[in-house]
Amino acid sequence: MTSALGSAPTGRDDRRARPTPTRAYRFRWARAAGTGWLYVLPALVMYAVFVLRPLVLTLQYSLYDWNGIGVARWVGLDNYLTVFTDSDLLKIIGNAVVLIVFFSFIPVALGLLVASMVRRITTGAFGTVVRTILFLPQVIPLVAAGIAWSWLLSSNGLVNQVLRAVGLGGVARAWLGDFDTALPAVGVIGAWVLLGLCTILLVTGMSKIDPALYEAARLDGAGPVREFLAVTLPSLRQEIGVCLTVTIIAALASFDIVYISTSGGPGLQTTVPGLEIYRLAFSQRQVGLASALAVVLMLLVLACVLPIQRLTRGEKP
């Protein structure tokens, strides 16, 4: 999904009006275009084999009842019907939606706050240190992050030790094993991972804002809050759009963190579509149903991401 987004052409060239071509020019242009296609052919082949073909096969599989080995049976849209009527599967999709709050909204909101604070120290050695620390969670493999956090959140882990030390032993619990706290606990891990990415993107965006705007705002008597709302926020519209897009995809398509920290438990409390697709396809061998859920997940991602793209697209002031 992300690779499809990442490698899509921006189409800027098409907007440029072409002069009415003479015959010779048209010939040259055609040849140039042919050479162009030749250049992108290797990438296009890879794209077709590793993105388009699996996409088409997934669509095809979703219409069959297939165990991955034997002969498949055509079932039409039955698998989709199951996805939308099975209460467990609906709960699983609901879990992913809840995770958007933790993976997306919290990192973006906190990221804005942190970015405004560290904006002034982005240059020099200290700035580099700050950026490195903030970005570190992005560099650590998600599996390692999941393992480390499951130690922190275990019943004798650091989190509970701290709670006991300050006299809050009563609320200490196995955070990832408790029905009420498992999903928020997984969310906290996600927020930690994605906060750095959002902050870095937003700091970069802020450094591009014309200082004159702040000066003008200050001359008009704006305080820090007013400055933030009137200058910083509108200028960061595109960066916020990118942050939301990336993090919402991370939330809906999450797998690693959940698989490592809870395996979807307790019960179905933290099971997310990515995990369920994998389980259905490989452990329960229902490739058709897994494919249908994958298609639904893809549509869900598009349904969440496309409006954000539209809203944050506007030209920079």
Partner 1 sequence: MAELLTKFPRRRTVLLASLLAVGMTATACSAPGEDRSSNPTSDTAVKTELGADPITLQMYAETGFPLAKALADEFSKQHSNVTFNIREDQFTVIVENAPRVMASDNSPDIIRLPTMVDLVKDDLLKNLDPYFTAYGWDKFPASQLMQLRVGENTRGTGSLYGMGLGYSVTGVFYNKKLATQIGMTQPPATVAEFEELLAKAKTGGVQPIMQFNKNTAGINFPHQALQNQFGDPTQVADWIFQKPGATFDTPAALKATQTIQKWAQAGYFTKDANALDYAGMVGEFQKGNGLFMFNGDWESANLDKAMPGNVGFFLFPTESPGAKHVAMSAPNTFGVSAKAKNPDAAAYFLNWVHTNAKAREISVTVGGSSPGGPSDLPVPSAAENTVLAETLKASQQLGAENGAVDFTANATGGIFAAAITPEMQKLIAGQQTPEGYVKAVQAEYQKELSR
Which stretches of the chain bind partner 1, using CB under 8 A?
A: 5-6, 8-11, 14, 48, 52-53, 55-57, 59-61, 64-74, 150, 154-155, 173-179, 238, 241-242, 245, 262-268, 271, 279, 282-287, 305-306, 309-310, 312-313
Report in angstroms how near the CB of residue 231 gets to partner 1 at its nearest.
19
Residue 72: closest CA among 85, 63, 80, 81: 63
Report in angstroms how near the CB of residue 278 gets to partner 1 at its nearest.
9
Q: Closer to partner 1 by CB, 126 or 179: give it.
A: 179
Report in angstroms how near the CB of residue 217 gets to partner 1 at its nearest.
24
CA distances from 155 to 68, 179, 186, 256, 269 (A): 40, 14, 15, 22, 18
Q: Closer to partner 1 by CB, 122 or 309: give it.
A: 309
Residue 99: closest CA among 197, 192, 191: 191
Q: Closer to partner 1 by CB, 132 or 263: give it.
A: 263
Q: Closer to partner 1 by CB, 173 or 218: give it.
A: 173
Alpha-carbon distance of 229 to 233, in angstroms, equals 5
Q: Closer to partner 1 by CB, 201 or 297: give it.
A: 201
- Asked whether the beta carbons of 68 and 281 are under 8 A apart, the reply is yes
- Asked whether the beta carbons of 122 and 207 are under 8 A apart, the reply is yes
Report in angstroms how near the CB of residue 150 gets to partner 1 at its nearest.
8
In which element (H, E) is residue 80 found? Answer: helix 78-85
Alpha-carbon distance of 78 to 57, in angstroms, equals 17
Report in angstroms how near the CB of residue 191 gets to partner 1 at its nearest.
20
Q: Closer to partner 1 by CB, 121 or 171: give it.
A: 171
Torsion angles phi and psi, residue 314, rounded to 5: -35, 155
Report in angstroms how near the CB of residue 101 gets to partner 1 at its nearest.
23
* Dihedral sign computed on CA atoms, order 97, 99, 102, 108: negative
The structure tokens listed for 70 are 């034997």
